C-alpha cells in the first residue's frame, strides 16, 4: 500500500512541476501578442493589488497588439502605471479609453536571450523533478526498513522511480524544444 501511495504522490508532484513550467512558458514573450504575458501584472485597485486580467478585458488586435479595456475607466492611469512597472519591455499607448500594447518584432539577439530563459525554466523544472525522485527514493528506503521489503522489490521500485523520472524529464525537454522553436520562428 505504501509503495503505491508513494508512486501516486510522486507522480502528482511531477505533474504539478510540469504544469508550473507550462504556466511560466505562457508568460514568456514570443513574437506574437499573447494575453498570458499580463498574468503577472498587478494593479493597485482600492488599496489592494489586483490581477490586471480581473479588472479589464484583454484582446489581441492584428496579432501584434494587445488591447486592454478596463471595466472601470477611472483606473486607466493605474493600469498604465502597472504595465510600465511590470517591465514587460513594451511601452503602453493610452488613448483615454483603452491601452494598446504594440509588440515590436524581436531581434535575433532578443530571441536568443529569451531561449536562454526558456532553457533556465526547463532546467529548474528538471531540478524539481530530480528532487521529487530523491524524495521518492528516500521514502522507499523508509518503507524498506519498516516493512522488510525484499531486495528484488526494492530494486524493481527504484527502476520504476527512474523510469518515471525519465518520462517527465523527456516531457520537459520536449516542452522546451517546442517553446524555443516558437520563439525562434520569425
Residue 65, phi-psi category: left (phi > 0), alpha (psi -120 to 50), beta (remainder): beta
| CATH of residue 146 | 1.10.132.20
Residues 45 and 87 occupy one common structural domain = yes
Residues 129 and 151 occupy one common structural domain = yes
| Whole-structure pTM value | 0.76
What is the count of structural domains for the chain? 2
Contacts of 22-27 with C-beta under 8 Å, sequence gap 24+, read 22/175, 24/121, 25/118, 25/121, 25/175, 25/179
Q: How many CB atoms lie within 10 A of CB 21?
A: 23
pLDDT cut 90: percent of the chain above it? 33
pLDDT above 90 (res 11): yes
pLDDT digits (tens, 9 = 90+) for 137-157: 999 888 888 888 888 888 999
DSSP string computed for 48-91: EEEEHHHHEEEEEETTTEEEEEESSGGGHHHHHHHHHHTT-S--
In a 13 Å sphere around the CA of 23, the CA atoms on its Cβ side amount to 9
Which of 61, 62, 60, 80 is CA-nearest to residue 70?
Answer: 80
The residue out of 49, 67, 102 marking a domain boundary is 102
Residue 61: φ, ψ to 5° = -115, 130
Range of the domain at 44: 35-102
pLDDT digits (tens, 9 = 90+) for 18-64: 999 998 888 777 777 788 888 888 888 888 888 888 889 988 888 78
pLDDT of 131 reads: 95
pLDDT digits (tens, 9 = 90+) for 88-117: 778 888 888 899 988 888 888 888 888 999
| CATH of residue 58 | 3.30.1360.40
Residues 179 and 162 occupy one common structural domain = yes
pLDDT of 186 reads: 66
Residue 58 pairs in a beta bridge with 68
Element (H, E) at 42: strand 42-45
The residue out of 102, 132, 156 marking a domain boundary is 102
Residues 12 and 46 occupy one common structural domain = no
Amino acid at each position: 500500500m505504501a509503495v503505491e501511495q508513494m508512486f501516486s504522490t510522486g507522480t502528482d508532484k511531477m505533474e504539478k512541476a510540469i504544469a508550473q513550467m507550462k504556466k511560466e512558458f505562457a508568460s514568456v514573450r514570443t513574437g506574437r501578442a499573447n494575453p498570458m504575458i499580463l498574468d503577472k501584472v498587478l494593479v493597485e485597485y482600492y488599496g489592494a493589488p489586483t490581477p490586471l486580467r480581473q479588472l479589464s478585458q484583454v484582446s489581441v488586435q492584428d496579432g501584434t497588439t494587445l488591447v486592454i479595456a478596463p471595466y472601470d475607466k477611472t483606473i486607466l492611469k493605474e493600469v498604465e502605471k502597472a504595465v510600465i512597472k511590470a517591465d514587460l519591455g513594451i511601452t503602453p499607448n493610452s488613448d483615454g479609453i483603452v491601452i494598446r500594447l504594440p509588440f515590436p518584432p524581436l531581434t535575433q539577439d532578443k530571441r536568443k536571450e529569451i531561449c536562454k530563459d526558456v532553457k533556465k525554466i526547463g532546467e529548474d523544472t528538471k531540478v524539481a523533478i530530480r528532487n521529487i525522485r530523491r524524495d521518492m527514493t528516500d521514502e522507499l528506503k523508509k518503507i524498506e526498513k519498516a516493512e522488510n521489503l525484499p531486495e528484488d522489490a526494492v530494486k524493481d521500485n527504484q527502476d520504476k522511480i527512474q523510469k518515471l523520472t525519465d518520462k517527465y524529464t523527456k516531457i520537459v525537454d520536449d516542452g522546451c524544444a517546442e517553446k524555443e522553436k516558437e520563439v525562434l520562428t520569425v
